[in-house]
Structure 1
Amino acid sequence: MLKRAIITAGLYGTDLIRAHRWAGFARGRGVILTFHHVRPATSAGFAPNRLLEITPDFLETVLDTLDALRFDIVPLDDVPERLRGGEAGRPFAVLTFDDGYRDNRDHAAPILAARGLPWTLFVTRDFALGHGRFWWRELEEAVRRLDRVRIDDLDLPAETDAQKSRAYETIYWRLRAGSEADLRAATLRLAEQAGVDVAALSADACLTFDELASLARDPKVTLGAHTLTHPMLAKWDEATATREIVESREALVAATGREVRHLAYPVGDPGSAGEREFAIAREAGFATALTTRPGHLFAAHADRLHALPRVSINGLHQNAGAVRALLSGLPFLAWNRGRRVA
């Protein structure tokens, strides 16, 4: 909660001082934006993953703000050349959507098509097959249904929304600190205890390969690989990480007939993707590979095309001021301690 309050204050303060008008030194040549769900607002209450969803109206706000700040919206294929070019010119933005959610097609795609904008959808094979593991949703749904949550040495009350939020955060970060195999086993046990239909979580949420093949016929849509099972790659051995990266592209090509030139690392933070994964992606022949490490793109990123940062559009900050602050680059200059390439 404290971290969220600090982020909110930082975004508000950055916009208050109109950093987007004067902090050109902080803004890079471009920015890759990350989205997850785009769908109508749900009811208030216990929703620990609300940061991963925005409304269609707010997507319109993001696009309006990019236009007002004179950003060119370009396909991901253009990024290497934009970074290698001489003069920077107008800043650019790339729109990327992770995981392959059906709501991206139903709510985001019509907005983007009406504006003639390119966008990239990163697909996890098992989600498209309908049997992937949304472990973070398993945990959420289990906590939602239980009045007490017992796991290992933890015994946490979960009767009110506030208690559920505390229980979720406590368990989430405890599990994230260990192995992913243990994490997935633990969330599955909790989900089964709470009567959660685990299989339905991905089957109901994600586009099938047939639906993806249909979507891929739109020349404005780029499909990218997002691994086979959505693991935190750095927590697994090299052979597993390589298989997840390489075979996910093969599966997507086979299902859609489209070339797949780009990769996004699941979770994408330093604990999930590092130098080993960057090397695997490079050696596999991907043109770019994207992290979730926060930051703008600078010319020096032309030499780090398989470790590109992104800027997450956070569902907890759905206002134009937050978007202007993020596009100014100033928050990331502070976050990265003055380094343009982290």
Structure 2
Amino acid sequence: MSFSKHGVIAAGFRAIAASRAESWLAPLARGIGAILMFHHVRPARADPFQPNRLLEITPEHLDLTLRLARELGWEIVPLDEVPERLARRKGRFLALTFDDGYRDNRDHALPVLRRHGVPWTMFVTTDYASGRGSLWWLELEEAIRASGRVSLQGRDYAAGTPAEKEAAFRALYARLRAGPEPELRAATASLCDRAGFDRAGLAGRLCLSWDELRTLSAADPALTIGAHTLSHPMLAKGDEAAACREIAASRTEIAERLGRPVRHLAYPVGDPASAGPREFALAREAGYATAVTTRPGHLFPEHAAHLAALPRVSVNGLFQTEAAMRALLSGVPFLLWNRGRRLNVA
């Protein structure tokens, strides 16, 4: 997401708040439910260079989100209940989902979730739980953080100041995301090597291990464990056999390691370039009850026929305000962003 787009979104939240559109447009825009998406939950950091800060919120903002949801009449339910709620058109409900299996979810989100007594789902990438794999967007951040200048494919980027580092990250991220994933991963690995950053231990430092997941799963009956593939690829960029293995084998491995059924899938990255009709069909064939994307939107009764292509509402670290959350829960931003469409499942 570009900084110009962030500015447009911020302006949109301000306009919605100023016009009180979250009140008068909500009956038209709001769905019967929504699935909230989180990544990191941890205390705010002072580092001026945080290009992935949209992927983290503070425990205080999580608390605000849950308090506001209750105030506005939303019931927080397990992801297991979503299919039945959609089929019965039974609202107004929220499901809480956390991607990647970060340790800070246990350390900083869980106390808030327990205080509110709410169910939640963690989507686990099996490679990360095994202490391996590539969190390439974070590797890119760390390579730039450790460098005064970065070079890729004949192009140089200044990276001496925080502003230069932000600009370098935006440019490199856009270039790499647009290309083949093997090239993306090779490029971030090369940048890390040149910067002297040890990428090999990043997953182990940030993500819960299998032992930690077993302990957490046994101790918290409110937690549902879902699959987030084996290696966190952009599935639609690979061949069908690889996508099938990532989707099906991750379900089997998590179930075997944790001794719990795995009924839900989150597509890595989850935008239309990463998960489309082929992946939706593979998720259904693998036996998942639901599969969630990152396509933005609320849930409507029509989604009962598209349980492998459910949208989510990203709780974005760049917009940690009550006004932003009121707008997101009203559905008004999605009425505008989706041009009035309720479904985006193609």
Q: Give the conservation status (yes or no) of the 8 Å contact 1:30–1:92.
A: yes
Find the aligned partners of 1:96 and 1:18 in 2 and give their Cα distance. 28
1-structure distance, mates of 2:261, 2:212: 17
- The one-letter code matched in structure 2 to 1:135 is W
Deviations 1:121-150 (A, max 9, x none): 000000000012111111101111111110
Residue 67 (structure 1) aligned to one of 53, 70, 82: 70
Aligned-partner residue type, residue 92 of structure 1: F
Equivalent residue in structure 1 for 2:298, among 276, 296, 318: 296
1:69-127, CA deviations, whole angstroms, 9 ceiling, x for partnerless residues? 110000000001111114x4x41111000000000001111111122100000000000
1:335 equivalent in structure 2 = 337
CA deviation after TM superposition for structure 1 residue 15, in Å: 2.2
Contact 1:97 1:122 (8 Å CA) reproduced: yes
Large movers: runs of 4+ above 4 Å: none
The reply on whether 1:121 has 2:122 as its aligned counterpart is: yes
Deviation at 1:22, TM superposition (A): 2.1
Is the partner of 1:6 in helix, strand or coil? helix
How far off its partner does 1:270 sit? Answer: 0.4
Q: Give, in whole Å, the separation in 1 of the partners of 2:151 and 2:4.
A: 25
For this pair of structures, how many residues does the alignment match? 340
How far apart in 2 are the matches of 1:116 and 1:127? 28
Aligned residue for 2:226?
224
**Does 1:318 find its partner at 2:293?**
no
Q: Deviations over 1:182-225 (max 9, x none)?
A: 00000000000001110221110000111111111221100000
State how far apart, in whole Å, the 1-side matches of 2:72 and 2:199 are: 43
Native 8 Å contact 1:210 1:255 kept in 2: no
TM superposition shift of 1:322 = 0.3
The SS at the match of 2:46 is: coil
Which digits, 9 at most, give the CA deviation of each residue in 1:276-307, with x for residues without a partner? 00000001110000000000000000001000
1:263 and 1:250 mapped to 2: Cα distance? 12
CA distance in 1, matches of 2:213, 2:18: 42
One of 242, 253, 260 as aligned partner of 2:244: 242
Q: Secondary structure at the match of 2:201?
A: helix
Alignment match of 1:305 (pick from 304, 307, 323): 307
Q: Which moved more, 1:277-286 or 1:5-14?
A: 5-14
Aligned partner of 1:192: which letter? D
8 Å CA contact retained: 2:66, 2:116: no
Other-structure match for 1:143: 144
**What secondary structure, in the 3-state scheme, does the structure 2 residue paired with 1:199 have?**
coil
Give the secondary structure class of the aligned counterpart of 1:216: helix
| Structure 1: stretches of 5+ with no match in the other structure | none
Aligned to 1:51: 54
Q: Deviations over 1:292-333 (max 9, x none)?
A: 000000000000100000000000111111000001111111
Structure 1 residue 341, shift from structure 2 partner: 0.5
The question of 1:79 aligning with 2:79 is answered: no
The unaligned stretches of length 5 or more in structure 2 are none
Question: What letter is aligned with 1:66?
Answer: A
Comparing 229-238 and 330-339, the one that deviates more:
330-339
Identity across aligned pairs (percent)?
A: 59
SS in 2 for 1:296: coil
Distance in 1 between residues matched to 2:328 and 2:11, nearest whole Å: 13
Give 3-state SS (helix, strand or coil) of 2:273's partner.
Answer: coil
Cα distance in 2 for partners of 1:215, 1:20 equals 37
What is the distance in 2 between the residues matched to 1:211 and 1:159? Answer: 38
Superposed CA deviations along residues 32-55 of structure 1, whole A, max 9, x for unmatched, are: 000000001111411100111111
Asked whether the 8 Å contact 2:228–2:265 carries over to 1, the reply is yes
Q: How does 1:1-342 map to 2 (within 5 A)?
A: 1-23=3-25, 24-86=27-89, 88=90, 90-217=91-218, 218-342=220-344
Amino acid at match of 2:42: R
Deviation at 1:18, TM superposition (A): 2.1
Shift of 1:161: 0.7
Structure 1 residue 337 displacement after superposition: 1.1
The two structures, once aligned, show a CA RMSD in angstroms of 0.9
TM-score by length of 2: 0.97
Q: Deviations over 1:148-207 (max 9, x none)?
A: 110003111111111111111101110111100000000000000001110221110000
Give the whole-Å Cα distance in 1 for the aligned partners of 2:168 and 2:95. 36
**In structure 2, what is the Cα distance between the partners aligned to 1:66 and 1:150?**
46
